[in-house]
Chains A and B, each alone.
Chain A
Amino acid sequence: MKYEYKLYEPSWCPGCGNYMIRTALKQALEDLKLEPHEVVLVTGIGQGAKMPHYIKVNGFNGLHGRALPPAIGIKLANKNLKVIVESGDGDTYGEGGNHFIHAIRRNIDIAHFVHDNQIYGLTKGQASPTTAKGQKTTLQFDGVKLEPLNPLALALTMGAGFVARGFSGDIPHLVNLMKEAILYKGYALIDILQPCVVWNKVNTFAWYKERVYHLPEDYDYTNKEEAFKKAMEFGDKIPIGIIYKVEKETYEEKFDFIKNGPPLVDVDLNPKNAEKLIKEFV
C-alpha cells in the first residue's frame, strides 16, 4: 500500500522544511514496506507536529511537549506497532525536556524525528532551546542570553544508542537516516535541521546548505569519543549522518512477559486469574 498524502491542505508555509521531511518520511516508510496501519505517528504540538494530518498513517497528535509519553505507552501496549515520534525543537527539548531525558534512559524501540528549526514557528518567532546565543527574536529583542541546548551531546550523555543529524534539504540522505532509525532496536534520535522560512532569518536554507557535510565513509560511529566531537561541531561546519550507533538491549526486552509473550493488547482478560492473589490477605 502506498502512503497517501491526505487531502488535507498542510498549514505549512510555502518553502517550509516540513514538506521535505514529509517526503522523506513517506519514502522511508514505503521503502521499509510498512503498511499505514502498522505504524503510529505520535506528535506533540507545533507546525511539524501536524504531520499525522498530512500523511495517511495511525496518529496520536497529543499535547505540546508530550509526544514521548504516549509513544512509550503505545509501544508497551502493542509491541507490533512501529512507533515514530515527530515533534519540534521547542516541543522536544523545551516543554518536553524531562520526557526526552527519560525516554533515552528507557531505550524503548521508537524512532524520534525532531524537526529542529532553531525557533518557535507556530507561536511566531520566539527563541527555542536550540536558538543561537545572541540571536534576536520576536521576544528576545536584544538577543538570546541563554546557552543553546545541544541535543546530540545531551542524548550521548544520557546513553542513547542511536544519535543522528539530518537536514531537510538533503532528502535521499534523510530517507536513509530515517530507515536506519526505524530499523534500530531501541530509542533512535534524529535531529533534523530545517529552515523556518518566516521566523528564522539566521538559520536559512542557504545557511544550512553552506555548512552541512556528510560524515565520511570511514567515520566510526561506534566510537563515543568521536561522536561527542561530532555532536559539538555546530558552526562553520555541521556534520550530518549517524553520529553514534551501538546495539543495546531495549527496555521492553528486559521484561520476559513482553519479550516472549503476545503483545499486551492481545492478552486474554479473565478476572478469575487474579483470584489467587487473595491468599496474601488471608
Chain B
Amino acid sequence: MEYNILIGGEAGQGIDTFANLVSKVLKRSGFYIFTNYDYMSRIRGGHNFIQIRFSDKPVFSLKSKFDIVFALNEETIILHRNNLKNNGIIFVDNEILKNDSSLYHLPLNEIAKNLKNSKVATTVGLGVLIKYFGLSDDLGKNVVNDEFPDSIREINITALSKGFDLIDKKFNLSTKNDENIILNANQAVALSAIAAGCKFYCGYPMTPSTGVLSYISSHSDEMNIFVEQVEDEVSALNMALGASYAGVRAMTGSSGGGFALMVEALSLAGMIEVPVVVIDVQRPAPATGFPTRTEQADLQFVIHAGHGEFTRMVIALKDVEDAFYQTARAFNIAEKYQIPVLLLSDQHLADSLKTVKPFDFDKIDIQRYISNEESITDEEYKRYKITPTGISPRILPGKIPGQIVLVDSDEHDEYGHITESADIRKSMVEKRLKKLEYLKDEIQEPLFIGKENPENLVIGWGSTYGAIKEAVENLVDEGISVGALIFGDIWPLPTQRLLELSKNAKKIIDIEQNATAQLESLIRQEALIKSTHKILKYDGRPFSIDEVYEKIKEVLS
C-alpha cells in the first residue's frame, strides 16, 4: 500500500503547516513518510508545492505520479493535473474552476470565513484527508492539539471537525503501531550536534542551511549551547575556531555562497590545527543561483576549498538517519585529527521530512582527545610537536598553570612561533599532510544496494541515495543485474569496494545532481575508474525514483 499526495498553493497560503500536519497525522497513524518541499524564493505569491508519499513499508524518496492533488490555487491544478494517476482525485476550493466537474470541490474558504479566520481553511482540508483515508479522527485532533498554540487551538479543532463532515470515507487504511519519529536532515544534523556536545554554533542565515542554526538556537538555553548570528560568514568560521581553540566543540554552517566566505578561515583551521565541523547545505549556484532549490555541485569546491595544502575530511549526508550519526562522528574525527571536517548536505535533504527509527543516543560516543599535564614531556608545551602521526597533544589554554597554548596562521615552529626556517617549513607541511594518511584508516566504504557483483554498477553520493536505492531495488526485482555504491565519505575517497565491483561491471553509471559529474571525476583521479554512462540533473529539482529508474533503464537498453 502506498499513496502520493501533492499539496500546492501560493507562498503565504499555509501549505507548509498543512503538509506538516498531514505528515504528522500519517506518521502517528504508523505510516512511513517522505515529504518533499518545492518552494520559491519569495514570502508571498508564486507557486509552491509539497509532495507527501506514504506507505506501510519504508520509503526513501519521492515519486512523480499522484493519487491526490490538494490544490489551494488554480495554478496547482494547471501544473500538476498531468501527473495525476488515472484513479486520482483533485481536491480544490469551491471557488476555483467552478465548472470543472472532474475536480472535487470543497467549501474550505467558506467554512474558514464563517469561523472568522481565513487561515484555518487548510485545517478543514486536513479533516477531509483524514476522513478520506479512513484515519482516526481522534488522532487528527491530538495532532492539531499538539501543533497549535492555545490562542488558535480551539478554532482549528472546530475546522478539523468541519472537514470530517465534508466527505465520505474512501479507504480504511490499517496500520501498524506508530514507533517512528519524523524530521528533516537539518534538524537531524542540529540534534546530533547538540548530542555530540557542540557548545558553540554560529552562522549567518542562508537558505537552505538556516534550519540548523534555528533549531540549535531554539534549544540554546535549555542545552547550554551558545548560538551566535554573526555579521558575516567570514566571522562565522573564525569565531568557531576561537571557541574550539578555547576548548569547546564548535560548528558553523551555510550554503555554498556563505561557505565561500569561510574559505580563508578553512585554510586557517588547517594551519593552526584547530578542530571544527562545518556544514555546507548546497543549493544551485554559481552565485545566488536558485536559493530554495537543490544541487550537488559543491563537491569539488569543498574538497579543494582553501589556499595551500592541509588535511580535511568531507562527509556527504545520505539521509536523515545518516545525518544524525555522521554529524556526531564528524566531531570525533575533527578532534582526533585536529582538522576541519566538512559535511555536505543539500536543499532536498535539508528540507525533506522522513520517518526514521528514534535515534539511538547510546551510539553517540564523545571522544575529545584532549591531553592533560602528564602528556607534556617538554618543559614548555609544544602545540605543534612533531609526532609519528602528525597529531600533536592538544591542551587547552588556561587549564594548566605555567603552560601556554600558541597557535599561529604564519608558518610556525613546534611552539607555535612564527618562523622562516626552510627545515621547519618542510617538517610542518609534512606533519599537516601526514594526518591524511592516518585518516584513511578511518573512512567508511560506500553503501552498497542491489545485487552483489552486478553487471551494471551505479555510483552516487549524498542525498540521491533514496531515489537510487528504490530505483535499483525495483530493477533488481525485475531480474536485472544492477547494484549501486552510494558514497558518504567523499574525502579521503574510499576506493576498495569500487575497485572490487568495477572489475565485474560492464556498465558503470554515474548519477549526480550536477552538470559536470564531480564525484566521477574524483573517482577517475583517485581510483582511475571511468564511468561508461552519466545521468546528470542540474535543473534544481531533485531526482524522483521514477526518473532514476527510467534513466537507468534507458542506459541498460
A residues adjacent to B (C-beta < 8 A): 1, 6, 8, 11, 35-38, 40, 42, 45, 50, 52-53, 56-63, 66, 68-78, 80-81, 98-99, 101-102, 255-258, 261, 264-265, 267, 269-275, 277-278, 280-282
Contact = CB atoms under 8 A, between A and B. Distances in A.
A102 B241 contact: no
Nearest to B370: A265
Q: Which of B200, B246, B272, B417 has the most CB of A within 10 A?
A: B246
Q: Which of A273, A275, A280, A281 has the most CB of B within 10 A?
A: A281
Interface stretch (B181-189, B205-213, B441-449, B465-473): B181-189
Contacts of A11: 418
Interface string B158-191: 0000000000000000000000011100010001
Nearest to A65: B234
Nearest to A8: B417
B103 interface: no
Nearest to A261: B224
Given A50-B418, A73-B243, A258 B226 contact: yes
Interface of B: 28, 181-183, 187, 191, 194-197, 199-200, 202, 219, 221, 223-224, 226, 228, 230-232, 234-236, 238-250, 264-265, 268, 272, 328, 358-359, 361-362, 364-366, 368, 396-410, 416-418
List the 7 closest pairs (A to B, CB-CB), nearest first. Answer: A73-B242, A70-B242, A269-B197, A73-B243, A69-B238, A77-B246, A271-B364
Contacts of B416: 59, 61
B70 to A, nearest CB: 24
Contact of B242 (A8, A52, A57, A74): A74
A58 B405 contact: yes
A42 B272 CA distance: 13
Nearest to A72: B239
B231 A59 contact: no
Q: Classify the interface of chain A: helix, strand, loop or mixed.
A: helix
Contacts of A265: 199, 246-248, 396
B410 A61 contact: yes
A63 B248 CA distance: 21
Given A76-B226, A269-B196, A278-B191, 20 more contacts: A53-B418, A59-B408, A61-B418, A63-B238, A69-B230, A69-B238, A70-B245, A73-B200, A73-B246, A77-B243, A77-B247, A77-B250, A78-B248, A80-B398, A81-B398, A98-B234, A256-B221, A257-B224, A269-B249, A273-B195
A36 B404 contact: yes
B361 A271 contact: yes
Q: Which of A35, A61, A75 has the most CB of B within 10 A?
A: A61
Contacts, number: 200
Contacts of A58: 397-398, 404-406
Contact of B366 (A258, A261, A271): A271
A40 B241 contact: no
A270 B368 CA distance: 12
Contact of B228 (A37, A76, A269): A76
26 contacts: A37-B404, A38-B398, A50-B418, A59-B408, A62-B272, A66-B265, A66-B268, A70-B239, A70-B245, A73-B238, A73-B240, A73-B246, A74-B245, A77-B242, A77-B247, A77-B250, A78-B398, A81-B397, A264-B199, A265-B199, A271-B362, A271-B365, A271-B366, A280-B183, A281-B181, A282-B28
Q: Classify the interface of chain B: helix, strand, loop or mixed.
A: mixed
Given A59-B416, A269-B366, A70 B238 contact: yes
A98 B243 contact: no
Nearest to A44: B409
A101 B247 CA distance: 26
Given A62-B241, A63-B265, A272 B361 contact: yes
A30 to B, nearest CB: 16
A66 B238 contact: yes
Contacts of A274: 191, 194-195, 223, 361
B400 A37 contact: yes
A70 B241 contact: yes
B401 A37 contact: yes
Contacts of B248: 77-78, 264-265
B165 to A, nearest CB: 28
A62 B232 contact: no
B406 A52 contact: yes
Contacts of A269: 196-197, 249, 366, 368
